[in-house]
Chains A and B, each alone.
Chain A
Amino acid sequence: MASNKKYWKSVEELNPNSSIVETLKQNEFVEEIPVDEFLGDKDTLSSSSTTRRDFLKYVGFSTAAASLAACEGPVKKSIPYVVQPEMIIPGVANYYATTIADGYDFANILIKTREGRPIKVENNKDARFGSGANARVQASVLGLYDSLRVQGPKHNGEFVSWEDLDKAVVAGLNTAQNAGKKIVLLTQTFASPSTTKLISEFKAKYGTVEHVVYDAISEDAALNAFEAKYGVRALADYDFSKAEVIVSFGADFLTDWQGGGFDSGYAKSRVPAKGKMSRHIQFESNMSLTGSNADKRVPLTPAQQKVALAKFYGYLSGQGASGDLPEAVDQAVKNAAAQVARAGKNAVVVTGIQDEDAQTVVLAINEMISSVVMDVKAPKLVRKGDVKAVSQLVKDMAAGNVGVLITSGVNPAYTLPNAAEFDEALKNVGLSVAFSMKEDETSVQTTYIAAAPHYLESWGDVEMKKGFFGLIQPTIRPLFNTKQFQEALLGWTGIGMNYHDYMKSYWEGSILGGSSWNQALHDGVFTGVSVIDEAASEEVDQLVPVSVAGAVSKLSKATADGMELTLYPKVGMGDGQQANNPWLQEFPDPISRVSWDNYLTVSKADAEERGLENYHVANGGLNGSYANVTVNGVTIKNVPVLIQPGQAKGSVGLSFGYGRKAGLKHEMQTGKNAYLFYGGFNPVQTVTIEKAGGDDHEFACIQLHNTLMGRGDILKETSLEIFNTKNSREWNKLPQVSLNHNEVDASTVDLWNEFDRSIGHHFNLSIDLNACTGCGACVIACHAENNVPVVGKAEVRKSRDMHWLRIDRYYSSDETFEGDLETVEGISGLGDSLSTFGEMEHASENPQVAFQPVMCQHCNHAPCETVCPVAATSHGRQGQNHMAYNRCVGTRYCANNCPYKVRRFNWFLYNNNDEFDFHMNDDLGKMVLNPDVTVRSRGVMEKCSLCMQMTQKSILDAKREGRPVKDEEFQTACSAACGSGAIVFGDINNKESQVAELKESDRVYHLLEHIGTKPNVFYHVKVRNTQEA
């Protein structure tokens, strides 16, 4: 007999009046089914007369029609040149030496062009200055193909001709001159000798001309201090490769401090050679890239840094200094001073404190110890900005004293802290012209937008360091109707020459000294005698000696008035001029691993005090509270908060470069504009923070905040002392496995028969964790070389980022990784292990940081290969793990079986898809694609190929010329991009190769050696110089 017992699934069902239950009875789905727009509109749908049968008929017909139409293959057209340029052979890349000088980044580079299109930035090996291309420079080639570039000169939103613009400007210039009003050129730092001369000629013609140089992120204090001491408005250069002891007070010199470019020198001194490596001590508030590379990092608020610097000077000079510091910090300062004193001329002290006193003291210290690291004879000229002049300009404009304003390479309406005032003052300027590639915040307000070319379409010269010149040459014909600033200036000055000829004649007259112009252009670099010498030498004699004592005493009295905010440029975004670059937006910050955002970095203690929190949600994403941040009465609401391990208590950080709106695709309009807080061009500000209500912020974070949990297996490090004194078996332990009940080295046990790889090439990649600074140039280089798609913030949050090469960042929860190990070994019992591991996930206040680039490890015994049901991934005898995209059916089994998590799945079609409106969705942006690498489609797995296309090309070149391949010819995109020499690629069967030599080092280890995958990528144990005194 059937029972009439009532079954129920939820308590709600027992409620007879529940509307939810009623709804559920009626509808199969609680929510409207999320179908696409054509079904989304319910009214239209129900009013439609199409019946189900009709619908099926239509479907049937269109399917049949589509398949019939598809029977005929598409006819492809091939259009050859009418007259083929001599240098262009379709399918063969050409390289041109040029220089980037966008006012923020300066580097000598090579540009790879294919069929006339620049597609990649490479390092210029002839460069004798700087570190080569950083991540932003690597990405800058994409800016050329930005679909939002201004395509011609504009007036009131309408395109005009250059003739009209020139006529109007010349008329405006004459009017201003006659009326006695100022003509102001507000430009970036050009550091261009020929432009300097051109501007002086422009001045001579129009008289009332004033040239104001403006750096969005100012180095004014350092410039002033240097000028006061040495008479030249420049910055001291530092060669960290000579340094034995480096002490830095808030100088993030591995990124953009004083123009950047110090990382390759730094990395050289970091690799232990003959038992020696440099010792790096960092005092800072934000956790910076530099601080995370330091041997000892002391978190200090900006005010404490000043005091610490004063005391450091006191200890070093033996004069002693007052000032209040916590005892541990004081001891650290004392130790640092002692180490500097011992190292003498091989030590160097640097500071990033934007304060003339601090900069003066540091220059004095380096001079006192006669540091060989610092070079003041040939200083850097890449920052010239004068904040006083800029402030004065805004006042002049507001007062109506400026008749003509011409800007180039700057965007003051975005980057000025008083941008609103500037906007208002701009209305009082008779004629304003902005040379800009974008309709950005400034150029939309000026009378004329003078469409400027990208640097890859321009001519130019740069003197980045006194006597070290670079040349800029176009690598493609201008894509649009553009004209560069210098070209226009020549026209307005009435010099009947184009800029190329002008520059050439200037170089032949003043710089080359008889050397060949063509050779200089070919090399892209030239070392000669600087033209600024004569001008400067006279002034030096009149210098007033600067009082160091006064500066020190001022510094020692520094106090903070509450919480201190330090504004900083992010590695990926810099000053924000490349904000529309999807590569850079998706580039994860090396420290926080957050992409597509800027955020307020807060220490854990401060966050807890204010109820700010970070937490993970079910899909692995990171959420964070919002805070309202106020500086000097300016409030930015809803700034996302990121709890940053290592952030000095009492300090917070916020990065520049975000929060732009004008001239950006919707997806790129991310973050908050920190320039609003940049009052007085001082990156350190007193700040008040309060928690904002509402929903929490969703971060797109690539690697979450967990700790290494003592798994020294994947990241091995040791101290210099142990490294020097103990056997490598002790600090580079081989994992043990049990074989026949005996513990044996994991590398001796194998499931598989070994394949003979001694014949032909066998590629290996070496990564030195000591040399790697985590700068990320390799990540972008990999993007550019391998057509890696950009997936957008929402997808990154779902861990669907496509980076073939990632740089993992590990925090140790104790001060050292050994501390972690000890804690783990001390665990007894399950209960203890659960709670201890839980505790270890909380990062310590000042964790140690390590960076580890991880790409496909190209295991000789690859777990991915054995599980592929269609043999889409297989092994080559040259050591690479191949991936045949067209064979892949997308089971994702390989990714699940990969212990290193380096395989990336194409969840969507990322090209030609409006849902992913990045560079691969428009014809212009697609021009950056590398024609030698397949653009992957939806549903296939992809991963690092060890740049197979590059090794194959090197081999083919050698075959064609009938010679063996030279060692340096084998490169991958990452190894070629690595300025610090951390990534080295080569053939280990060639015993003379660099990589074969590196493989013999006793620092070598493989990731997760105990699982026996036998990777072809190997790492070098990180050694820290922990010597305290």
Chain B
Amino acid sequence: MKKVIRRNSVLRIVVIGVAFLLSFSTSLLAQDGDPAAGKSLFNTYCAACHNLDRKMTGPALRGVGDKYERQWLYDWVHNSQALIKSGDADAAAIWAEYQPAVMTAFPQLSEADIDNIIAYTMQPKEEPKTAEVPGVVGGATGGGQSGIGNNVILAALILVFGLLVVMLYLVNKTLRRIAEANGVEFAYAESEKRMPIWKAFVKNQFLVLVSVVFLLLGGAYFAYGYMMQVGVDQGYMPVQPIHYSHRIHAGDNQIDCKYCHSSARVSKTSGIPSLNVCMNCHKSVMEVAPETATAEHSKEFYDGEIQKLYKAVGWDVDNQEYTGKTEPVKWVRIHNLPDFAYFNHSQHVTVAGVACQKCHGPVEEMEVMYQYAPLTMGWCINCHRETDVKMEGNEYYEKIHEELSKKYGVDKLTIAQMGGLECGKCHY
């Protein structure tokens, strides 16, 4: 017991000390707040509905500290509806403008937290960093220079070779002249008597036969190769009506594939997400972060593509509402199995737990989507031969697994052993 009491007192001292320090620090920053802390709070709690400079679900918040009294702001953030009901004129005005969107009450935010957020909102608007643009341009020119450099080297090489040829010719000419001067005769006539090589070739019937056979074989080989790639669109990378970057979504932002392609879980098609799925995020994500831009595509380019989405779905950014005027997006289909082959995504994704990347490649790195796999039958079959069926925890497989593994004397079963190579499993 005594020990406990002692520990408690120690703890109490520590708590009081920390509280004191904290209160001291807050009192120091009172009314000012810490913009850095405010930014992180803002992004956590506010950014879903507010932007600093643009009206979203709620009003733009830059300079909000000047518009309202601090106490009013505390009340508003803690419970806006109560404030509205209390008959406050300012609150009523906001409600009139933004209803029926109700602002979430944040009683967990202390006044200090709110101060921090306000401090963040009070920061002056950053001017677009023009300095960066020359940097980018400079980089591009640098790249260009290196390209030109290669060409220069090539041109120089060609020049050198040309010079060498000319020099050789001149040397030869000079040597010949010296030889003539020295009275050396050339055996021109002898070479004329020699049989031309093509004639010799024609005369050698065996050689003709062999080469014809080789030609035919070679021709057949290439013809076969050509035929087999007809209809195989591996690497097909069409230009899409909206430049949608899987790199940004699946790579940078780590969005799960099945968030957008949700029907892959339950259906045969993975589904192209309908535009309302895009709007789940893009209602608040109206522009890309500056660091998203690459050498190839600028921030303005990406922002423009988001505008295309708004146009297609009929979203009025200024008024934050749907206009009802939609223009469905005509995506170009990339992966296209022929109609006589049945493929079911849910079988592979949900039942087998195959990663999307296994067939679709490193989608999270693709700026522009392309067909990664050949999608040929041989490719399907190979995988079915090599891959073990994922049976653990699936009651469906219990009996059949037990029986089949006894039959084949193995612990794991490939899809082929389960009958996954039968024609009728995919063709009906």
A→B interface (CB under 8 Å): 73, 75-84, 89-92, 756, 758-760, 872, 874, 876-878, 880, 882-887, 932-935, 945, 948-949, 952, 955-956, 958-960, 962-965
Cβ of B237 < 8 Å from any Cβ of A? no
Residues of B within 8 A of A872 (CB): 423
Given A79-B328, A80-B329, the answer on whether A91 and B424 have CB atoms closer than 8 Å is no
For A85, the closest partner residue in chain B by CB is B274
Which of B231, B403, B423 sits near A884, CB closer than 8 Å? Answer: B423
Complex contact B333–A76 (CB within 8 A): yes
B→A interface (CB under 8 Å): 231, 233, 238, 263, 266-269, 271-277, 312-314, 326, 328-333, 336, 338-340, 342, 344, 346-347, 350-351, 393-400, 403-404, 407, 418-419, 422-425, 427-428
Complex contact A874–B238 (CB within 8 A): no
Q: Which of B274, B276, B332, B396 has the most CB of A within 10 A?
A: B396
Residues of A within 8 A of B312 (CB): 82
Nearest 7 A/B pairs, CB to CB: A882-B424, A91-B267, A84-B274, A81-B274, A76-B333, A91-B268, A80-B272
CA distance A964 to B399 in the complex (A): 9
- Give the shortest distance, in Å, between B138 (CB) and chain A (any CB): 39
Which of A882, A933, A960 sits near B423, CB closer than 8 Å? Answer: A882
Complex contact A77–B276 (CB within 8 A): no
Given A77-B333, A934-B340, the answer on whether A963 and B395 have CB atoms closer than 8 Å is yes
Complex contact B275–A80 (CB within 8 A): yes
CA distance A759 to B231 in the complex (A): 38
- Give the shortest distance, in Å, between A305 (CB) and chain B (any CB): 50
Given A73-B231, A934-B339, the answer on whether A80 and B271 have CB atoms closer than 8 Å is yes
Complex contact B427–A83 (CB within 8 A): no
Residues of B within 8 A of A82 (CB): 274-276, 312-314, 326, 328
Complex contact A89–B423 (CB within 8 A): no
- The contact sample of 24 A-B pairs, CB cut-off 8 A, is A76-B336, A77-B332, A80-B273, A83-B274, A83-B276, A84-B274, A84-B277, A90-B263, A91-B268, A91-B271, A92-B267, A760-B419, A874-B422, A876-B423, A877-B422, A882-B424, A883-B427, A885-B427, A932-B268, A932-B342, A934-B340, A959-B394, A963-B396, A964-B396
For A881, the closest partner residue in chain B by CB is B424
Q: Does more than half of chain B's interface fall in helix, strand or loop, or is it mixed?
A: loop
Complex contact B347–A80 (CB within 8 A): no
- Give the shortest distance, in Å, between B369 (CB) and chain A (any CB): 12
Residues of B within 8 A of A956 (CB): 344, 346-347, 351
- Give the shortest distance, in Å, between A113 (CB) and chain B (any CB): 14
Residues of A within 8 A of B394 (CB): 959, 962
Complex contact A882–B267 (CB within 8 A): no
Complex contact B340–A885 (CB within 8 A): yes
Which of A75, A76, A90, A934 sits near B269, CB closer than 8 Å? Answer: A90
Complex contact B422–A945 (CB within 8 A): no
Which of B275, B338, B407, B424 sits near A876, CB closer than 8 Å? Answer: B424
A-B contact sample (12 more), CB < 8 A, given A76-B336, A882-B423, A959-B347: A73-B231, A75-B238, A78-B272, A80-B272, A80-B275, A81-B275, A83-B274, A92-B267, A883-B424, A886-B427, A949-B428, A960-B346
Given A83-B275, A933-B428, the answer on whether A886 and B338 have CB atoms closer than 8 Å is yes
Complex contact A876–B427 (CB within 8 A): no
Complex contact A92–B266 (CB within 8 A): yes
CA distance A887 to B423 in the complex (A): 10
- Give the shortest distance, in Å, between B127 (CB) and chain A (any CB): 37
CA distance A83 to B407 in the complex (A): 51
Complex contact B269–A91 (CB within 8 A): yes
Complex contact B267–A89 (CB within 8 A): yes
CA distance A268 to B111 in the complex (A): 79
- Give the shortest distance, in Å, between A790 (CB) and chain B (any CB): 20
Residues of B within 8 A of A958 (CB): 396
Complex contact B330–A77 (CB within 8 A): yes
CA distance A759 to B350 in the complex (A): 24
Given A77-B333, A84-B276, A885-B427, the answer on whether A960 and B266 have CB atoms closer than 8 Å is yes
For B264, the closest partner residue in chain A by CB is A91
For B342, the closest partner residue in chain A by CB is A932
CA distance A948 to B393 in the complex (A): 26
Complex contact A882–B422 (CB within 8 A): yes
- Give the shortest distance, in Å, between B223 (CB) and chain A (any CB): 15
- Give the shortest distance, in Å, between A989 (CB) and chain B (any CB): 9
- Give the shortest distance, in Å, between B416 (CB) and chain A (any CB): 12
Complex contact A876–B342 (CB within 8 A): no
- Give the shortest distance, in Å, between B378 (CB) and chain A (any CB): 14
Residues of A within 8 A of B271 (CB): 80, 89-91
Complex contact B313–A882 (CB within 8 A): no
CA distance A75 to B238 in the complex (A): 9
Residues of A within 8 A of B428 (CB): 882-883, 932-934, 945, 948-949, 952
Residues of B within 8 A of A876 (CB): 419, 422-425
For B407, the closest partner residue in chain A by CB is A759
CA distance A389 to B154 in the complex (A): 101
- Give the shortest distance, in Å, between B205 (CB) and chain A (any CB): 35
- Give the shortest distance, in Å, between A804 (CB) and chain B (any CB): 12
For B322, the closest partner residue in chain A by CB is A83
Residues of A within 8 A of B427 (CB): 882-887, 934
- Give the shortest distance, in Å, between A697 (CB) and chain B (any CB): 39
CA distance A955 to B272 in the complex (A): 26
Complex contact A878–B332 (CB within 8 A): no
Complex contact A89–B422 (CB within 8 A): no
For A760, the closest partner residue in chain B by CB is B400
Complex contact A886–B340 (CB within 8 A): yes
Residues of B within 8 A of A880 (CB): 424
Which of A75, A92, A952, A955 sits near B263, CB closer than 8 Å? Answer: A92
Residues of B within 8 A of A80 (CB): 271-275, 328-329, 331
Residues of B within 8 A of A878 (CB): 419
- Give the shortest distance, in Å, between A819 (CB) and chain B (any CB): 44
CA distance A955 to B400 in the complex (A): 13
- Give the shortest distance, in Å, between B267 (CB) and chain A (any CB): 3
CA distance A373 to B361 in the complex (A): 67
Residues of A within 8 A of B326 (CB): 82
CA distance A960 to B398 in the complex (A): 14
CA distance A935 to B313 in the complex (A): 35
Residues of A within 8 A of B397 (CB): 959
For A83, the closest partner residue in chain B by CB is B276
- Give the shortest distance, in Å, between B46 (CB) and chain A (any CB): 27
Residues of A within 8 A of B267 (CB): 89-92
- Give the shortest distance, in Å, between A546 (CB) and chain B (any CB): 60
Complex contact A949–B342 (CB within 8 A): yes
Which of A78, A92, A952 sits near B333, CB closer than 8 Å? Answer: A78
CA distance A758 to B404 in the complex (A): 10
Residues of A within 8 A of B231 (CB): 73
- Give the shortest distance, in Å, between B259 (CB) and chain A (any CB): 14
Residues of B within 8 A of A83 (CB): 274-276
Residues of A within 8 A of B399 (CB): 964
Residues of A within 8 A of B398 (CB): 964
Which of B233, B277, B350, B407 sits near A960, CB closer than 8 Å? Answer: B350
CA distance A899 to B84 in the complex (A): 85
Residues of B within 8 A of A934 (CB): 339-340, 427-428
CA distance A877 to B268 in the complex (A): 23
- Give the shortest distance, in Å, between B261 (CB) and chain A (any CB): 11
Residues of A within 8 A of B340 (CB): 885-886, 934
For A93, the closest partner residue in chain B by CB is B267
Complex contact A89–B342 (CB within 8 A): no
For A876, the closest partner residue in chain B by CB is B422
- Give the shortest distance, in Å, between A866 (CB) and chain B (any CB): 15
For B277, the closest partner residue in chain A by CB is A84
CA distance A58 to B218 in the complex (A): 32
CA distance A880 to B423 in the complex (A): 11
CA distance A759 to B406 in the complex (A): 11
CA distance A878 to B423 in the complex (A): 12
CA distance A92 to B423 in the complex (A): 23
For B400, the closest partner residue in chain A by CB is A760
Residues of A within 8 A of B336 (CB): 76
For A78, the closest partner residue in chain B by CB is B333
Residues of B within 8 A of A948 (CB): 424, 428
